[in-house]
Amino acid sequence: MNFFFFHLMPYPHLPDDFEKRYDSAWIDAPNTLFDPEKGHDLYNTYLDDLVFAEEVGFDGVCVNEHHQNAYGLMPSPNLFAAALARQTKRVKIAVIGNALPLYDPPTRVAEEYAIIDCISGGRLIAGMVVGGGPEYFSFSLNPTFAREKFNEALELVVKAWTTPGPFEFHGNHYRLRYVNPWPRPIQQPHPPIWIPGVGSLETMELVARNRWAYMGIPYFHLSVFERNFEFFRQACEKEGYTASPEQMGWLVPIYVGETDEQARKEFEPHVWYFARKLLKGINASPPGYTSVRSVVKIVESIDKFMLWCDTWQQIEEGSYVICGSPETVREKLEDHIERLGVGNVLGLFRLGSLPTESTRRSMTLFADEVMPKLRARFG
């Protein structure tokens, strides 16, 4: 059982009436709302959070990539991973991930990941993502080519790590006459590859075929995760093997307080800040970004998405977040880990506008009182 501390680096200083005045925290939310002075403080505090995660005993830390939004302030996660490669000594550094179609040519990803892997002494987990729907607006990148480009870029990056250079790569989107990235990653043949998904079968089959790891994209009702991990296990069976728990990761907001009551009191306002302000607009699904078939499937589970939750009861019932005393959090996680069959829990501890002190206290309680028991239970 591995516990990761996942940071989104949210912008916590949006005006109170943000959701009334703006349609979205993405794409066109005016960047004048970002205060660079506060940004100085935020970035340093957030990096400290990640270092703190190692100190209290997490197995790994995660960063990710999003552009032009208030939800997550890491357009270039590799910058943070590079800083962490220097500032930490033990934890895995999971970049989940680089949005491959946004890198042209994507050999850039092979290079930067190899650097992080070298600096950290082989602690990188290489996440590869298609990029969120909003990113295709922010980059004016044709979403109808998203999957094609992602698949081709992924093939190129893996090939760049596994085939001695120089070689020629000739694809539909990327044509490179000399692929020969210096440096090469310290982990051979390449760092572990993690790929997140919302439930598209194509993604699961790709991950299953290559025996990589599949991450469930959060903010859905627990039943959506249950179904998706079940599909993933089936995809692995079709490839002739049984999925190991290490191949599956569940990303979920977690808050641990002294008591259930206190935890809710401390956490709930920040959950709503997150759900009502920061999630607004994340569901932008540009045309062709997912297959027509998948869109119908996603629309079917639209009422199981956190953005549409109105009450705390709904949030709790669907386990959109796990919040409570150490005992309650342990109990819920034990049940859910069992049900989902995952070997990686990726906890979002710094949700929305949650202050530093609460975040660190919750992380400490989790590391001291929840993790050991779950480790004893799941190994």
Partner 1 sequence: MAAPEKHYVDVAGRKTQVTTAGDGPPLVYLHSALGEADWLPSFDVLAEHFTVHIPAHPGFADSEGLDEIRDIEDLAFHYDDLFAELHVERPHLVGQSLGGWIAAEYAVRWTEKVGKIVLIDAAGLRVEGAPVPDMWMTRPPELAELMFASKDHPLYQMMKAFQPDSPPPAEILVAFYGAQQATARVGWDPYLHNPKLERRLHRISRPTLVLWGEADRFVPVAHGERYAELIPGARLERVPDAGHLPVIERPDEVAKRVAAFLTP
CB of 280 to partner 1, least distance (A): 10
Is 140 among the residues that bind partner 1 (CB under 8 A)? Answer: yes
Which range binds partner 1 by CB under 8 A, 93-101, 156-164, 222-230, 295-303?
295-303
Is 132 among the residues that bind partner 1 (CB under 8 A)? Answer: no
Is 283 among the residues that bind partner 1 (CB under 8 A)? Answer: yes
Which range binds partner 1 by CB under 8 A, 105-113, 207-215, 279-287, 325-333?
279-287
Token pair belonging to 66: 């999003």
Token pair belonging to 205: 């089959």
Pick out residues in 14-43 that bind partner 1 (CB under 8 A): 23, 27-28
Is 286 among the residues that bind partner 1 (CB under 8 A)? Answer: yes
Percent helix / strand / coil, the chain, rounded to 5 = 50, 15, 35
CB of 300 to partner 1, least distance (A): 8
Out of 44, 76, 87, 144, the only residue in the binding site for partner 1 (CB under 8 A) is 144
Measure the CA dihedral 358/360/362/363, to 10°: 160
Out of 4, 103, 137, 214, the only residue in the binding site for partner 1 (CB under 8 A) is 137
- Any long-range contacts for 235-244 (C-beta under 8 Å, 24+ apart)? 235/201, 235/204, 235/205, 235/207, 235/208, 236/208, 238/205, 238/208, 239/208, 239/209, 239/211, 241/211, 243/208, 243/341, 244/343
Q: Does residue 10 have a cis peptide bond before it, meaning omega lies within 30 degrees of 0? A: no
Per-residue binder mask for partner 1 (CB under 8 A), 339-368, x = binder = ------------------------------
- CA quadruple 205, 207, 211, 214: dihedral positive or negative? negative
Per-residue binder mask for partner 1 (CB under 8 A), 199-238, x = binder = ----------------------------------------
Q: Which residue's structure tokens are 């970049």?
A: 95
Out of 16, 164, 170, 292, the only residue in the binding site for partner 1 (CB under 8 A) is 292
Sheet strands (E) in the chain: 2-6, 60-63, 92-99, 124-129, 167-170, 175-179, 193-197, 213-216, 248-256, 322-324, 344-348
Which range binds partner 1 by CB under 8 A, 38-46, 113-121, 140-148, 252-260?
140-148
Whether 61 and 91 have beta carbons less than 8 Å apart is answered as yes
What values do phi and psi take at 316, rounded to 5?
-70, -45
Out of 39, 162, 261, 299, the only residue in the binding site for partner 1 (CB under 8 A) is 299
Per-residue binder mask for partner 1 (CB under 8 A), 302-341, x = binder = xx----x---------------------------------
Residues that bind partner 1 (CB under 8 A): 23, 27-28, 137, 140-144, 283, 286-288, 292, 295-296, 299, 302-303, 308
